[in-house]
Structure 1
Amino acid sequence: MSNLRVAMVVPTYNGGDIWKKSAASIRNYFSGDVLVIDSGSKDDTVSIANEMGFSVLGINSRDFNHGGTRNLGLRQLVSSSDIVFFMTQDAVLNDAESIENMISMFDADDQLAAIYGKQIPHDDANVIARHARHFNYSERSYVVSKESGKPLGIKAVFMSNSFSAYRVAIFEKLGGFAENTILCEDMLFAANALSAGYKVGYAANAVAKHSHNYTAVDEFSRYFDIGVFHQEQNWIRRDFGGAGGEGKKFIVSEMRFVLKRQPLYLIQAFINNGAKFLGYQLGKRYKRLPLSLSKKFSMHKKYWK
C-alpha cells in the first residue's frame, strides 16, 4: 500500500443532480480529505458536500478563476498531502481502483508531476459526445518526458482537470497553475512540467464518467477560447508541435462512428465541426477583434475585462 498522502479539490457552482452522483462517488471511492470550493451556489450543492463530510470553502463567484481557485484549494492542503486530485462537479468516479491506479503511477516514478484519468461518457451522452470520449481517451496508459513525448506532438501536454492528480512538491516548485489564462490551465502546467524536465502521464485504468452534449454554439464558444489560449501560449505549439493530422482523423472517425450508430446525427456532427473550426480560427485572431465581440464569442466571459 502506498505511503503517499492524498487529498482532493472540487470547485463547485450550482452542481445540480450530477453533483449528487459525483459527491457520492467521491465519498465511496476516495479515502483522503476532500475540499470543495464553492462559488456561491444557490442550490443544495454546499449541503450535499456537508452531508458527505467534505470540507467547504466559500468564495465569491466573481473571484473564480480556473487556475487561481485550484491553486487556492491545493495550498489549503499542501502541508498534509503528497498528491492532490482535482475533479469537476460533473465527473463521476467509476471505482476505487481508479484512484489506486493513479497513485501507483506516482509511486513508480518520483519525477512524475501530473496524471489525468480516462473519461467515459455519461449515460445520457449523445452519439457525438460518446465518440469524443472514444477517440480522445485510449486504452493505453503512458508516462512521457519532453523527449519521449515527441511522437505525440501537442498531445503530450494534454491534461484534464475534470479528473487529474498532481504531485504537490513539483506543483509548488513550478508555481502551480497560471492564473491569467482563459482555460487550459492544466495543459499549460503539463507543458511547463515537461519543459522543466519532469514527466506527465495518462492512466487508462483510472476511469470517471464525464461528457457534455455540446450544441454548435457551445462548440464555437469553447473553441474560440481554445484559440485564444493557443495564441497567448504559442510557445507550446512551437516547442511541442501541432496535432498533425489529428483533426482529420477525428472527423473521419466521428463520421464512421455516427454512421454506424445514429446516422441522423451526421448533419449535427458536420455543423459542430464547422463551428469548432470557425471558433478556433477567430480565437487565434482575437487581437484583431473588438473586445465586445471577443466577449460575446467566448464561453468564459469573465476573462474579458
Structure 2
Amino acid sequence: MMEKTVGVVIPAFCPGPLFHELLRRLARQTHIPEEVVIINTIPEPQGCGTAQRTEAAEIAEEFRTSFPALTVLEVRQRDFGHGKTRNLGIGHTDTELVLCMTQDALPRDSRLVERLMHAFDDPAVAAAYARQLPGKKSSVLEAEARTFNYPPSSVIKSAADLDRLGIKTFFCSDVCAMWRRSAYDQAGGFERDVIFNEDMILAGKMIQNGGRIAYCADAQVYHAHHYSGIRQLHRNFDLGVSQADYPEIFNMASSSREGLRFVRQTTSDLIRSGRGYLVPQLLWQSGCKYAGYQLGKKYRKLPDRLVRILTGSPAYWEQNKRTSTHSTQ
C-alpha cells in the first residue's frame, strides 16, 4: 500500500519567532510534508508593516530546501477570509491529505504529522485534529480550557454520537487539523465567506455525509491565547454569528450544555486545587463569552453600528455587508 502524501497550509499574518519555530519543527517530522503552502497576508498601512511582510517571505525562503515543495502566496488583509484563504492554499496542493495549521501552533515532537496520518487508516475518517497543550506562559484558566476541550484520550466521532456528545461531535480546530481531500471536495471545501468556525462547519458537513472526525490525543501542539474578557466577548460574538449563519450545521446538536459544564468543572478544579481566588475571573470571562455568543446569534436584530463594535472581525462586515452567501468558491 502506497504511503499517503501530505500538504500543509499555513495562513500567516505579521509572523514572528513562533512561525520560524513551527517551520523548523515541521522540517524535522518523521513524515516531512510533501508540500507546504504559506499564505502571507499583506497588512494594511496601519497593520504590522512592511518589515514583518518582508520577514515572512525571508522566513519561508530559509526553509525552501527543507521541504520537497514550498509555495508562498500573498493576499491583502482586506481580502483575507478564514474559509476562502484556506481554500486558496489547498487549491495549490495536490496531496491526498492536507494539514491546516495556524502560525502559532508548535508541534510537541517529531511525530505530529505521522500520528495524524494514522487516523486515516480508517477509510471513514474525513478529518483528524490534534490535541492542543497550554504553553509554559499560559494562565491557569487557559490551561483549564485546553484540558477541557482537548482531553488526554483519543476518540473517533460520527453522526451516531450526536445525542451523546452534542456539538462536540463535529468539534474540530484548524489550529492543527488534517483533512482527507476526497471528503473535503465532497463537502465543497470551506465556506468562502464565513466569519469564523470554518473548521467546524466543514466537519459538520462531513458528519452529515457519513464521515467520521478523529481526535488524536497523541498528536500534540502547543497553542494558547491570552484573551481578556472583552476579547472573549468579541471572539464569541463572531462564534455566535457563524452559528446563526449555518443553522443547517449547528442545529444538529445542542451547544448550550458545554459552556455550563466547563464553568462547573473548572470551578470545582480551582477550589479543589486551592485556587478558588480565580473563580471570579472565571465567571467574568465566562460571562463575557456567553454575552458575546448570545448577541452574535441575534446579530441580524442589532444595529449595524453595534455589530461593528461587538465583532472581532471588522473586515468581514466590510466584505459581506451583513449577508451570508454560503459560497465556497
TM-score, length of structure 1 as denominator length: 0.93
Task: Determine the C-alpha separation between the residues in 1 that align with 2:269 and 2:108.
Answer: 24
C-alpha distance in 2, partners of 1:61/1:154?
31
State the SS of the aligned residue for 2:160. Answer: coil
The offset of 1:256, in angstroms, is 3.0
- Corresponding residue for residue 31 of structure 1: 32
SS at match of 1:58: strand
CA contact (8 A) 1:120 1:133 kept: yes
After superposition, the C-alpha distances for 1:165-222 in whole angstroms (9 at most, x for unaligned) are 0011221122100012110011000111111112211111100011101101110001
Aligned equivalents of 2:118, 2:179: Cα separation in 1: 13
Q: Which residue of 2 aligns with 1:15?
A: 15
Shift of 1:299: 0.7
Q: Secondary structure at the match of 1:186?
A: helix
CA RMSD between the two structures: 1.7
Aligned position for 1:68: 84
In 2, Cα distance between equivalents of 1:198 and 1:3: 21
Q: Is the 8 A contact 1:127 1:261 kept in 2?
A: no
Q: Could you tell me which residue of structure 2 aligns to residue 52 of structure 1?
A: 63
Aligned ranges for residues 60-209 of structure 1 at < 5 Å? Answer: 60-78=76-94, 81-107=95-121, 109-209=122-222
SS in 2 for 1:59: strand
**In the TM superposition, what is the alpha-carbon distance from 1:146 to its structure 2 partner?**
1.1
Question: SS of the residue aligned with 1:70?
Answer: helix
The alpha-carbon deviation at position 147 of structure 1 amounts to 2.0
Q: 1:17: how far off? A: 2.4
Unaligned runs of 5+ in 1: none
Are the aligned partners of 2:191 and 2:198 in contact in 1 as well (CA < 8 Å)?
Answer: yes
SS at match of 1:304: helix
- 2:223 equivalent to 1:210: yes
Note the C-alpha offset of 1:262.
Answer: 4.3
Kindly state the Cα deviation for residue 225 of structure 1 after the two structures are TM-superposed: 0.8
Q: CA deviation at 1:226?
A: 0.9
Query: How do residues 245-284 of structure 1 correspond to structure 2 at under 5 angstroms?
Result: 245-259=257-271, 260=273, 262-284=275-297
Task: State whether structure 2 residue 254 is matched by structure 1 residue 242.
Answer: yes
2:245 and 2:93 mapped to 1: Cα distance? 30
Percent of aligned positions that are identical: 31
Q: Give the Cα–Cα distance (whole angstroms) in 2 for the partners of residues 248 and 59 of structure 1.
A: 39
Cα distance in structure 1, aligned partners of 2:230 and 2:3: 46
Distance in structure 1 (CA, Å) of the matches to 2:199 and 2:2: 25
SS at match of 1:77: coil
Alpha-carbon distance in structure 2 between the residues aligned to 1:133 and 1:2: 36
Per-residue CA distance 1:236-280 (angstroms, 9 max, x = gap): 3332x2135322220022223334264443322221111111111
Q: Distance in 1 between matches of 2:143 and 2:161?
A: 30
Residues 203 and 149 (structure 1), Cα distance of their counterparts in 2 relative to 1, 3 Å cut: farther
Residue 148 of structure 1 deviates from its aligned partner by 3.9
CA distance in 1: counterparts of 2:15 and 2:228, whole angstroms? 20
SS at 1:39's partner residue?
Answer: strand
1 CA distance for matches of 2:111 and 2:250? Answer: 35
Q: Is the 8 A contact 1:85 1:164 kept in 2?
A: yes
What is the number of equivalent residue pairs in this alignment?
A: 301
**Aligned with 2:204: secondary structure?**
helix
> Partner amino acid for 2:62?
E
SS of match in other structure, 1:249 = helix
3-state SS of paired residue (1:34): strand
- Are 2:157 and 2:170, in contact at CA under 8 Å, matched by a contact in 1? no
Which letter maps to 1:270? L
- Rounded Cα–Cα distance in structure 2 between residues aligned with 1:73 and 1:218: 28
Q: 1:104 is matched by which residue type in structure 2?
A: H
Letter in 1 for 2:136: D
In 2 relative to 1, CA 268–150 (structure 1 residues): closer, same or farther, beyond 3 Å? same
Retained in 1: the 8 A contact 2:161–2:169?
Answer: no
